[in-house]
Amino acid sequence: MDYTVGDLIAQFLEAAGVKTAFGIVSVHNIPLLDAIGRRDVIRFVPTRGEMGAGHMADAYARASGGLGVMFSSTGPGAANAVGGLVEARFASSPVLHITGQSATHLQGRDSGAVHDFPQQSEMLASVCKSTYRPGTADEVLPMLGQAFSDAMSDPRGPVTLEIAADLQSAKVQQPASFDSFITIRAAQQPKPQDLDMLADMLHKARRPMLWLGNGARGAEAQAQALVDMGLGAVSSWAGRAIIPEDHPLTLGALHGNGAPEIEDFYDTVDLMIVVGSRLRGHETLDGALRLPRNLVKIDIDPRAGGRNYSSATVVQADAAATLAGLCERVQGRLQLDPAFAGDLARARRAAAQSYRTTLGPYADFPAQLRAAMPRDALWVRDGTVAGHTWAHRLMPLYGARDSVHPVSGSIGAGLGFAIGAAMAARHTGRKTVLITGDGGFAMNIGELWTAVQERADLCIIVMNDGQYSAIAFIQDAAQQGRRFFGQLKGPDLEGLAALAGMPFWRVRQADAFGSTVAKALAVPGPTLLEVDMHAIGPVPPYGHKVRKA
């Protein structure tokens, strides 16, 4: 049988360590997926929509630390993938999107060929880190290698490879090896003078902290070493559990967004080293959060210095290498305030207790859920109010890749995220738990059948109150309580679960939440659990307003 471009792509992905890919088979990618099917090495997950495929590949990459791969068709199919690619760009997830293109002799002619969209490349370039479109079969492998390198090299992100329909079946020479094409660019190393400067600042500090963002993933050991020396830690939502959140010197994700106790504690911190974080407005109330004034940044992105909280001191380099160099320079030389650790622990306890009092009937949900979940469970949140409140701030996590949420702040990604995360964990026996609102759940509800077909080992928790609650809060505050267009009529979730062939539970009493989740988690495969918020009580608001300086 002839060796084709389709075979080349399938074999390249295998050589790159890809175990799972997501997407939809279509007239413009049949040769590619035929090769994957014939070789039977990569598990292909047929999704119900391209957006869902993008979210699955994104979450797969986050949970596994490797490359997420999705396939789509051309034109409308590629356009449907854009939402997933946008979220992957927000999260700096290494996603390789492989799509088709019109046959080479039709490209750029706008002739009305099936699925042909002359501006497809421009559309995808607007949301991806980079895009590639080989013009001949011989160009496919070099461009595929470049796409892999772009996706996996810092700062990571989604990359698209467009392959014309006629090229997918074209014959090519089978490479003897793919090693020279499967490369990741070397991380930028810190300058010795920058490390000396950081070390000098840390030597002078008595109450220093790390703020760990998504860009600090891969630097877990180095961050832990600094915390073991006595530095405090706090994480962005995208950097959760880089330091396990039961460590006594971390605030976890209770980073002060609306917590006066944490802001007061920050006033006593004399150095905060921000590692790989944008300090996003969603988490800092658009910059209203009071952070320590002596703030320095370590970031691979040269634009980090003036973004959000400005800093005159920016070390543009790889996080792991920079923290490792800093550890070497300060080991055994720090003279920290002996009261610092106790003050941090007290601030965390006080802030958590104060915040818990704002949650109404849901105050015990974090503790109940944490007790029901295995320690190594993957924790996935959609953009629901619960996901932005207690599910971020009061639910401790313990592994740096245990957390997936929409960094963009969008809703509707949760179910796709959960399936992708579950597929990444399927060989480890780990459970995946998703919390989503009824509105976000409805946006990609068709992917429920993907979960069933793939026997994804996940528990889906739907917080059901029949409305877009976050929008309702905003309308109350900004539009004098006029709640237009946010009320939702959804399906009976018990009937939906029966239709999909899934076990189902409904929670109508707050104190039954954890025990019901435990029952759902005891069942292999996908399960659906509804929290009837009409019975339990209204959704709590986002929390306190930040107290201004």
> What are the residue ranges spanned by the domains of the chain?
5-181, 192-352, 359-536
Question: What are the residues whose beta carbons fall under 8 Å from the beta carbon of 339, sequence distance 6 or more?
Answer: none
Q: Which CATH number fits domain 192-352: 3.30.9.90, 3.30.300.130, 3.20.20.80, 3.40.50.1220?
A: 3.40.50.1220
For residue 316, the model assigns a pLDDT of 95
Same CATH topology for 5-181 and 192-352: the answer is yes
For residue 217, the model assigns a pLDDT of 95
For residue 256, the model assigns a pLDDT of 77
Please give the model's pTM, rounded to 2 decimal places.
0.95
For residue 378, the model assigns a pLDDT of 98
Token match 């995946």: residue? 432
Distance CA 454, CA 425 (A): 13
- Could you report the per-residue pLDDT of 8-57, keeping only the tens digit for each? 999 999 999 999 999 999 988 999 999 999 999 999 999 999 999 999 99
Note whether 242 and 217 are within 8 A (CB): yes
Tabulate helix, strand, coil % of the chain (nearest 5): 45, 15, 40
- Give, in order, the Cα–Cα distances in Å from 299 to each of 125, 208, 221, 306, 319: 24, 18, 17, 12, 7
Residues of the chain with pLDDT under 50: 544-549
SS3 75: coil
287: left (phi > 0), else alpha (psi -120 to 50), else beta?
Answer: left
- Could you report the per-residue pLDDT of 184-210, keeping only the tens digit for each? 999 999 999 999 999 999 999 999 999
CB atoms closer than 10 angstroms to residue 114 = 12
The CATH class that applies to domain 359-536 reads alpha beta
- Cβ-based burial of 112 (10 A; exposed 0-12, middle 13-18, buried ≥19): exposed
Note whether 273 and 209 are within 8 A (CB): yes
For residue 546, the model assigns a pLDDT of 38
Distance CA 515, CA 371 (A): 9
Q: Exposure string (b/e) for 320-334, b if CB count within 10 Å is 16 or more?
A: bbbbbbbbeebeeeb
CATH of domain 5-181: 3.40.50.970
Of 430, 414, 412, the residue nearest 422 (C-alpha): 430
Which residues lie across from 44 on neighbouring strands?
21
Cis peptide before 526 (omega within 30 of 0): no
Residue type, position 229, single letter: M
Distance CA 34, CA 12 (A): 15
For residue 548, the model assigns a pLDDT of 40
Q: If you compute the radius of gyration of the chain from its CA atoms, what whole number of angstroms results?
A: 24
Long-range Cβ contacts of 511-514 (<8 Å, 24+ apart): 511/364, 511/368, 513/364, 513/365, 513/368, 513/369, 514/365, 514/367, 514/368, 514/369, 514/371, 514/372
Helix (H) or strand (E) holding 134: none
For residue 549, the model assigns a pLDDT of 38
Longest dimension (CA), the chain: 74
For residue 257, the model assigns a pLDDT of 75
DSSP summary character for residue 248: T
For residue 248, the model assigns a pLDDT of 97
Which residues lie across from 208 on neighbouring strands?
271
- Cβ-based burial of 356 (10 A; exposed 0-12, middle 13-18, buried ≥19): middle
For residue 45, the model assigns a pLDDT of 98
- Cβ-based burial of 453 (10 A; exposed 0-12, middle 13-18, buried ≥19): middle
